[in-house]
Structure 1
Amino acid sequence: MRVVQEKFAELDGQTITAYTLINDHGMEVTSIDYGCIITRMMIPDRDGTIENVVLGFDTLEEYLQHSPYFGAVVGRHAGRIKNGEFELDGKLYRLAKNDRGNHLHGGLRGFDKVIWDSEVKENADSVSLIFRYLSKDQEEGYPGNLKMKVTYTLNNDNEFTIIYVGVSDQKTVLNLTNHSYFNLSGNMKRNILDHVLTLKSDYFVELDEQLIPTGEFRLVENSVFDFRTGRKIRDGVVSKDRQNIIAGNGYDHPFLLTKNHHPQIILEDKESGRSLTIETDQPSVVLYTANQLSGEFKIRGINSQPYLGLCLETQGLPDAIHHSTFPSTILEKDEVYRSVTKYKFSISVKS
C-alpha cells in the first residue's frame, strides 16, 4: 500500500495536489484537493487489463470550464432544494440559485469548487486521504460555521470507503454525496446502456418537471424502476414512462434503500467482468444516467455524450427540508453528522 503525490495545478496562488492511493492488487484511486474530486479509478478487468472506470479530466482548467460535478464531493446539500430557500425555526434562509430558480448541489460555489486541506495516512493494509474544510456561516446562504472532514480509504480487499463527518455551530441542513460517474467498460470504450444495475429498493421518489421531488413515493413494481433483480440501464432510456422522459430519457431519481450496511447496490458490466458493490448507511441513492451530458467538450479525447457514465449518489433525499415524510437532513447545533459509503470492486468469471 502506498500513496503518490504530485502537483496537479495552481489556482489563485494555491497548489492543487493529486494523490494516488495504490493497493497491492493494481487498484488505484486518484483524487485532487480541489473539490475532493476523484479523477481516476484504475481497476483490472477479467483479463487483468487495468483501466479507468470513472469520468474525469487531466487538467484543472477542464474541471473549471466543463465539469458536471465529475467525481466531486457535493454539499452542503446534495440534490435540489425548491426555490432555493427553506425555513428553520421560523427563519427563512435564501440559498444561491443555480438551477432554474432552484438550488442544486450546494450552489454556485459548493464543496465541489473549493480547495480542501489534505493529509495522508498510511497503514499496513490501507491508505487514507483526509480532507478538511470550514464552510463559514452564510456560505451560499446556509446557516452555521460547519467543520467538514472527508476521508477516502483504499484497502487491499479492493474496497474504497468514503467517510463524511460534519459539525455546525448552528442548526442547519446537511446532505453529502460523491458525484462520481462510473463506466465499468474501462476507459469509456462503451456507454453504460448495457450495464446491469441491481438496487435493493421497493420505492422511488416521483419528480416534477423541474426534477424536484413531488413528495410521492412510487412502488417500483411493474415498471422500469424495478431494479430488485437486476435491469439494464437501457430499459429506462427507451421507456415511455413520463418519469423517464422528464429526466431527459433515462434516470435522475432517488431510490429508497431497504437495508443499511448491506450490499444494496450492484453495478455490473458483463463484457469486462467488472462489478461494483456499494454499501451505505444513507437512506437513498440517486441514480443519474448522464442524460444531460452535453457534447460540447471532450473527456480524455472522447466526445462528451449522454449515457457515457452513471452516478450512484448515496445520500439523504433531495429537497427533504420541504417534505415531512422524508428522512430529515436537519443537523442540530453541535450534533455530529457522520455517513459511510463503501465501494467494492470485483471480477466475474466469463460464463
Structure 2
Amino acid sequence: MTSTAAITQRLFGTTPAGDQITEYTLTNAKGSIAKIINFGGVITELHVPDSRGQLADVALGFETLEPYLETSPFFGALIGRVGNRIAKGKFTLEGVDYTLAVNNGVNHLHGGVQGFDKKVWHAEPFDDAQGPGVKLSLLSSDGDQGYPGNLQVEVTYQFTHEDALVVDYRATTDKATPVNLTQHSYFNLTGQGDILNHRMQIFADHITAVDDTQIPTGELMPVAGTPFDFRTPHRIGERINADHEQLRFGLGYDHNYVINQAQYKALTLAARVEEDSSGRVLEVYTQEPGVQFYSGNFLDGSHTGKGKTYHQRTGFCLEPQHHPDSVNKPQFPSVILQPGEQYKTRTVFKFLVK
C-alpha cells in the first residue's frame, strides 16, 4: 500500500494478458471516498454521507476484477468511442461506409465488444487544492472496433472537498471519427434495496423517441402528459409500469432526455435525485445536449458484488451524452471530431444532503 495525503492505491487484480490493475482510493477533506480502477476507468465504490453524516457506498459494482472483465453491465465504466446505440453498427462518414461490432441485438452499443470499458488505461494520480484525482489516458488505434482514426483520449476524475465528482473528457484524432464519451455509474442513494422511491427530476421538455430496438426514430417527443415528464420531481417507480409504448420498448426508463440548455455546451443542471430515508441528493451537471436515464431494467439478480445481489431496478444511471445514433441522424448535434479539433466536455456528479 502506498499513499499520499488523500490518495492510496492497491493492486486490484491482473488481466488475462498480464496487465496489473490498480485501484485508486480518493479521500476528500470530508472523509468521503471514491475508488477508481484503471481497467475501464471504472468507479468501483463511492462513499458519501447521509443526513446524519453516515457514509454508505452509493455505486453498484464488484469487489474483484473478474466480473468487470466479462459480465459487468457497464457498472461504473467509462464508455467510448461512442456511448449508446448506433443502428445496425453502420454509418457513413466523408463518403466511406463503416461497419462496427454489433453487441446489442442488431445494434452497436457503448463502443462495441471491446469498448473503452474493457481497456486498460494509463493512470496518474494527483492532488491539488480542489481535491484528489486521477488522470486516465488511452490510445484507441485506427480500426479499433471498426472506428476510423487514432484517437488519443484523456479522462480526469477529481473528487472535490465538496463531494463533487468532476469528470473532464478530452480527445484528439488524426482522422475524422465519431466520439461520444460518457460515464456509466449505477447509483442507489440508500446503498441497498431498489431505487423506485428515489425522486427524480430531469430538466428536459423532450426525449428522443425510440423504435423497438431502442434506436431513435428522429422524433423529439414532448414529455408533457406522459410518464416521462420529470420536469417536477416524481418517484422513479410511480409511473414506470404505465401503459406507454416507449416504456414497453425499454422495459422501463432507458431513454435519452434532451436537456433544456440556456446556452449549448454550457455546464447545466440536467438532473436532480433525492432519497428521503437517507437525505442524500445527487445533482448531475453536464455540457452535453442529452442525458440517458436508465432505471436498471435489465438487472436480473445474476450479478453479485460487495455483498449485494443486483436485482432489477436496484440502481439507476444518468449518462450525459450526445443523442443516440447521432452519427446517422443529421438533425441531431454532431458527434464527429475532426483532426485539429479537441473534443472537450465536463460532467459533475454532486452529492448533497437535504
Superposition TM-score, scaled by structure 2 size: 0.96
> Number of aligned pairs?
345
Which one of 116, 127, 142 corresponds to residue 137 of structure 1? 142
* Runs of at least 5 residues in structure 2 that lack an aligned partner in the other structure: none
Asked if structure 2 preserves the Cα contact closer than 8 Å seen for 1:132 and 1:147, the reply is yes
Is 2:318 aligned against 1:312? yes
Which one of 187, 190, 197 corresponds to residue 194 of structure 1? 197
Which one of 7, 15, 28 corresponds to residue 11 of structure 2? 7
Asked if structure 1 preserves the Cα contact closer than 8 Å seen for 2:112 and 2:145, the reply is yes
Offset of residue 155 of structure 1: 1.3
Offset of residue 50 of structure 1: 0.6
- Matches of 1:282 and 1:157, distance apart in 2: 23
- Matches of 1:93 and 1:102, distance apart in 2: 13
- What secondary structure does 1:63 align onto? helix
- What secondary structure does 2:204 align onto? coil
- What secondary structure does 1:270 align onto? coil
Which one of 255, 258, 274 corresponds to residue 256 of structure 1? 258
Deviation string for 1:205-253 (max 9, x for gaps)? 11111111111100010111111111111134221111111111x1000
Is 2:55 aligned against 1:53? no
Asked if structure 2 preserves the Cα contact closer than 8 Å seen for 1:29 and 1:42, the reply is yes
Q: Following superposition of structure 1 onto structure 2, how do residues 193-272 of structure 1 map, counting pairs within 5 Å?
A: 193-248=196-251, 250-259=252-261, 260-272=266-278
- Matches of 2:310 and 2:104, distance apart in 1: 21
Which one of 272, 293, 297 corresponds to residue 303 of structure 2? 297
* Runs of at least 5 residues in structure 1 that lack an aligned partner in the other structure: none
The range that moved more, 225-234 or 257-266, is: 257-266
- Matches of 2:340 and 2:239, distance apart in 1: 42
- Matches of 1:245 and 1:14, distance apart in 2: 42
Which one of 274, 280, 288 corresponds to residue 282 of structure 1? 288
Offset of residue 300 of structure 1: 2.3
Q: Which amino acid aligns with 1:321?
A: V
Is 2:343 aligned against 1:337? yes
Q: Which amino acid aligns with 2:338?
A: E
What's 2:118 paired with? 113
What's 2:279 paired with? 273
- What secondary structure does 1:275 align onto? strand
Superposition TM-score, scaled by structure 1 size: 0.96
What's 2:170 paired with? 165
Asked if structure 2 preserves the Cα contact closer than 8 Å seen for 1:236 and 1:244, the reply is no
- Matches of 1:236 and 1:20, distance apart in 2: 38
- Matches of 1:113 and 1:264, distance apart in 2: 28
- What secondary structure does 2:238 align onto? helix
What's 1:24 paired with? 29
Offset of residue 125 of structure 1: 3.4
Asked if structure 2 preserves the Cα contact closer than 8 Å seen for 1:117 and 1:133, the reply is yes
- What secondary structure does 1:235 align onto? coil
- Matches of 2:239 and 2:340, distance apart in 1: 42
Asked if structure 1 preserves the Cα contact closer than 8 Å seen for 2:155 and 2:169, the reply is yes
Q: Which amino acid aligns with 1:172?
A: T
Offset of residue 303 of structure 1: 2.2
- Matches of 2:70 and 2:28, distance apart in 1: 32
- Matches of 1:184 and 1:265, distance apart in 2: 14
Deviation string for 1:149-188 (max 9, x for gaps)? 00001111111100000000000100010000000012x2
Overall identity of the aligned pairs, in %:
39
**Cα 1:297–1:279, aligned 2, differ >3 Å: closer, same or farther?**
closer
- What secondary structure does 2:278 align onto? coil
